[in-house]
Chains A and B, each alone.
Chain A
Amino acid sequence: MSGSLFVITSLIWAQDFAMRPFPARLTDVAQQVGLTAPVIYGPERRKDYILETTGSGVAFFDYNNDGWLDILLLSGTRFGENLPAEAVTNRLYRNLRDGTFADVTKASGLVRTGWASSVTIADVDNDGDEDVFITYWGQNVLYRNSGHGTFADVTRQAGLQHPGRRWGAGATFLDYDRDGHLDLFVANYLDFDPAKIAKPGQAAGCAWKGIPVNCGPRGLPKAVPVLYRNDGRGHFKDVSVESGITRAGPVYGMTAAGADFDSDGWVDLYLASDSAPSLLFINQRDGTFTERGLEHGVAVSEAGTEQGGMGIAVGDFNRDGLLDLLKTNFWDDTPNLYRNLGAGQFTDDALRAGLGVETRFICWGAGMPDLDNDGWPDIFIASGSVFPEVEERLPAYPFLSPRLLFRGVGDGRFERVRQQGGPALAAVHSSRGAAFGDFDNDGDLDILIMNMNQTPSLLRNDLQAGASWLGVRLEGRQSNRSAIGATVTATFGGKPLAQAVMAQSSFYSVNDRRLHFGLGSAKTADIEIRWPGGRVEEVRNLRAGQQYIIREGEGIRR
């Protein structure tokens, strides 16, 4: 490819924007607000098994419907150590509305130990509160929210028990058949049995640049994803075969994201895959999917090679009203920034957009939040190595690494933000999941991050006043209550900006379900809502600086 014109143009852009201050400043306040327990995930400085390396997701969600975001952190455990349950459980933190959090894990009924991977959250029974599904190496778990601050494990009643031990990975609720009931897609990473797996350095796929490391994923058996259909009566049925999901064959599945990528009004599915082509399941509108990742340009690199796909962000980085995709990848690679050309066809703009300057870190959780509310989505990426053994001999590949922030400078281009973005960017961790949301309701997006064997990070965004914003929360009526699968397009400053309501993205994580639009200098915006049930509605002249709740067919509620 010949990208020099872009290089020159980028330099000009960079010069312009280097002069402009970045008004958002990210500070890690996790310790001071009460997120003090470390997230255990395998040993700290040695990883014998790939299971100990992939880590877990996090969620911003409002479990008690008080209008303030609460926090869910998933946990792993350690082989051969008899750790107390309170040390290795998933944790739920309630937002105390004063900038601090209280650990309510025990009271909520969410204490559970094991190797948790990902989380997907939505009102799966349409009763007005958010339910939680967590994938595990072992048995995945569905928790029903009682609406009174507690959760009940309803996995068995819901028909989600499965035979044998699977390594559940990415998962997302979605309403693929538009019946108003949320269905469930679950990816599996690989078949993992510690009794059968070779130790570091002892088989093919167990060395990295000559240094013995944990084995896999190549060399270990891939696994097929599963699609469950919700019958509307609290029961799920495995429809993987009849829906066409299994025809794609096994992959090393990681994060899953459901949204209407081809703008036909039906939710599609994108699955990031590690060391294998990523999959794009196009909804055929008849209860089936066809896998078309290669044909739509999102399966492999621009040159046709597999990548180590980890996380997914969905947004509209060039503000053309179409949902684009960002996929994070392994070492020695850049992320993919797939620009939607229309009808679900994509082209990788990563280098043209300016993301090619950084390839040193393994990248995981990611999002396209507009952190400075200037109306252009930015890109945030959490990073961290999977091989603690490597840096001692090859310091160029550190185990702990910083966060990456690229500010959107308009027209689909980005520039790297460093010190200007605050001290939390340079802090090094081995991070995995990341979620984006406004936990302190101050009109800017904050970031929650899982750090392996460390306390989590909560990056509070202290944004200088100036640019305006708009919050939109949807409530489905004919559509599923959480409006998962909806696309909202805000038009301001003469250009559209599309966002999707999703039940999983980033890496194994869940973002604030309220969509946040930075509006720049605009004072109002018009929005178009494409509900997952097919209805299209418009709401005009929404004033900046407010959170709106919009109910399907009824308009603004508040």
Chain B
Amino acid sequence: MTIVFLALLQTAQEPSLLDKPQFVESKFEAAVDSGAHATAGSAGRMILAPLGVLQLPASRPSASGNREARAAHERALVLEAENNPIEAAKFFARAVQLDPSPAHLLDASVHLLSHGAAASAAKMLAEGLRLHPKDANLHLALGVAEFGLGQYERARETFVAAMPDPRSYEALALVIEAAPSLAGPLIQRLGGSPYHQALAILRGAGAGQPGAEGLLQKAIQQDPAFDKPHFELALLYVAQQRTMEAIGEFEATLRLNPDHEQAHFRLAQLQQRAGRKADAETHFAAYRRLHAKRLESEEAERKGRIVLMQTPQP
């Protein structure tokens, strides 16, 4: 079967400039390059990091038996690494045309999603799932695409179809956060760990929902070495203006994960406002150190990409 690949990176089905904005305008955290201007990454601010959350296994070598398809896929990966997403998309599409394997479909669609072409990705994935109806990765990627198009109810069902894959709980939490009205019926269907249930409740009903706090505490009891429930609990307490408890949970997060940059930053801010200036300075310093290290690493990676771009390809 041949997948008809729609115009690459086309926006025919994306909202027009003056449409009522939906979350689709936000770019995903995995976008390859935001250029030389810094942004906060609206994905994080807009709770739209499904690709980052799901960590779909994109950009892996092709194991296709079709030599031409394998070559197209490899070329696409090179072009992607060279920060040339438009040409890369063409080769990803070619690989899918020649061999619509789950790996090719996933890489091609994740690439499209990474660059905001959610409508194209959704079409490709819907067709791909007819061939591979039990592939959890393809379900998750389709859910991401639907989420990106603002089709929250459809995304909810797609993510449910990917259960019991643990990533589906994270994804569902995002759906509920974007569309709280979907929370009620969904939470009843959720299994999974207390942590994931808490996330779903938090995203769906907000920090005022008492169930989330209990579930996060249960998650901490079940796995005392897991830092994420502490961090979520701290954010919950911040939203409820329970400053001292928030400070305690950020401190617990950092005991388990001393390099948690955001925990240092948020803890420092709370301590500053609470008048604990010496403690705040310690955590601001840690944040500055970790942040600088991360920037250095990102800069090295960015320069590396440019070197790759300037190196003649065979």
Q: Which residues of A contact B (CB under 8 A)?
A: 1-8, 203-211, 213, 215-219, 274-276, 294-297, 300-308, 329-334, 341, 345, 347, 350-351, 356-360, 386, 393-396, 398, 401-402, 418, 426, 428
Contact = CB atoms under 8 A, between A and B. Distances in A.
A331 B35 CA distance: 11
B25 A294 contact: no
Contacts of A208: 33-36
A308 B38 contact: yes
B40 A396 contact: no
Contacts of B82: 210
A207 B42 contact: no
B25 A302 contact: no
A441 to B, nearest CB: 33
A210 B43 CA distance: 19
A157 B176 CA distance: 64
Contacts, number: 188
A398 to B, nearest CB: 6
A332 B27 contact: yes
Interface in B12-63: 14, 17-18, 21, 25-27, 31-47
Interface string B196-217: 0000001111111000100000
A207, A275, A426: most-surrounded residue (chain B CB, <10 A): A207
B33 A332 contact: no
B235, B238, B239: most-surrounded residue (chain A CB, <10 A): B239
B206 A206 contact: no
A308 B207 CA distance: 30
Given A211-B86, A333-B42, A356-B46, 5 more contacts: A2-B177, A205-B35, A208-B36, A334-B40, A356-B45
Given A5-B207, A359-B46, A308 B39 contact: yes
Report the 3 A-B pairs with minimum CB-CB distance, sorted nearest first.
A5-B206, A205-B36, A208-B35
B27, B36, B115, B266: most-surrounded residue (chain A CB, <10 A): B36
Interface residues of B, number: 66
A1 B173 CA distance: 12
A205 B14 CA distance: 28
A292 B116 CA distance: 37
7 contacts: A4-B183, A7-B180, A294-B284, A295-B284, A303-B262, A332-B34, A359-B25
A358 B21 contact: yes
Contacts of B32: 209-210
B84 to A, nearest CB: 5
Nearest to A276: B38
B101 interface: no
A332 B44 CA distance: 10
A272 to B, nearest CB: 12
A417 to B, nearest CB: 12
B39 A5 contact: no
Given A217-B37, A396-B11, A210 B291 contact: no
Contact of A360 (B25, B176, B236, B238): B25
A329 B45 CA distance: 13
A341 B273 contact: yes
Nearest to A343: B273
Contact of A305 (B21, B40, B116, B207): B40
Interface string B83-99: 11110000000000000
B233 to A, nearest CB: 11
Contacts of B183: 4
A2 B45 contact: no
A356 B84 CA distance: 30
A356 B178 CA distance: 12
B35 A4 contact: no
A330 B202 contact: no
Given A2-B207, A2-B236, A203 B306 contact: yes
Given A206-B36, A294-B284, A332 B203 contact: no
A294 B288 CA distance: 10
A3 B206 contact: yes
A207 B33 contact: yes
Contacts of B25: 358-360, 396
B35 A213 contact: yes
B179 to A, nearest CB: 9
Chain B contact residues: over half helix, strand or loop, or mixed? helix
Contacts of B45: 301-303, 333-334, 350-351, 356
B269 interface: yes
A334 B205 contact: no
B42 A2 contact: no
Contacts of A426: 18
A5, A274, A351: most-surrounded residue (chain B CB, <10 A): A5
Nearest to A6: B206
B208 A5 contact: yes
B33 A274 contact: no
B32, B45, B291: most-surrounded residue (chain A CB, <10 A): B45
Contacts of A2: 177, 202-203, 206-207, 212, 235-236, 239
B11, B25, B85, B235: most-surrounded residue (chain A CB, <10 A): B25
A219 B306 CA distance: 12
A329 B40 CA distance: 9
A10 B239 CA distance: 16
B239 A1 contact: yes
Nearest to B287: A304
A402 B33 contact: no
A400 to B, nearest CB: 9
Given A308-B37, A333-B42, A393 B206 contact: no
Nearest to A310: B37
Contacts of A8: 180, 206
Contacts of A396: 11, 14, 25, 116
Given A2-B236, A274-B37, A401-B17, A332 B207 contact: no
Contacts of A7: 177, 180, 206
Nearest to B235: A1
Nearest to A50: B36
B265 interface: yes
A345 B273 contact: yes
A4 B203 contact: yes
Contacts of A393: 9, 86
Nearest to B202: A2
Nearest to A206: B36
A512 B288 CA distance: 39
B33 to A, nearest CB: 6
Contact of A332 (B26, B212, B272): B26
B51 to A, nearest CB: 14
Contacts of B205: 4-5
A197 to B, nearest CB: 12
Given A5-B206, A204-B306, A218-B38, A304 B33 contact: no
A401 B261 CA distance: 35
B210 to A, nearest CB: 12
Contact of A357 (B21, B116, B212, B266): B21
A364 B261 CA distance: 29
A386 to B, nearest CB: 8
Contacts of A360: 17, 21, 25
Nearest to A428: B17
A295 B280 contact: yes
Contacts of B9: 393-394
A218 B208 contact: no
A207 B86 CA distance: 13
Contacts of B208: 5
A426 B116 CA distance: 23
Contacts of A302: 40, 45
B132 interface: no
B38 A330 contact: yes
A211 B183 CA distance: 40
B303 interface: yes
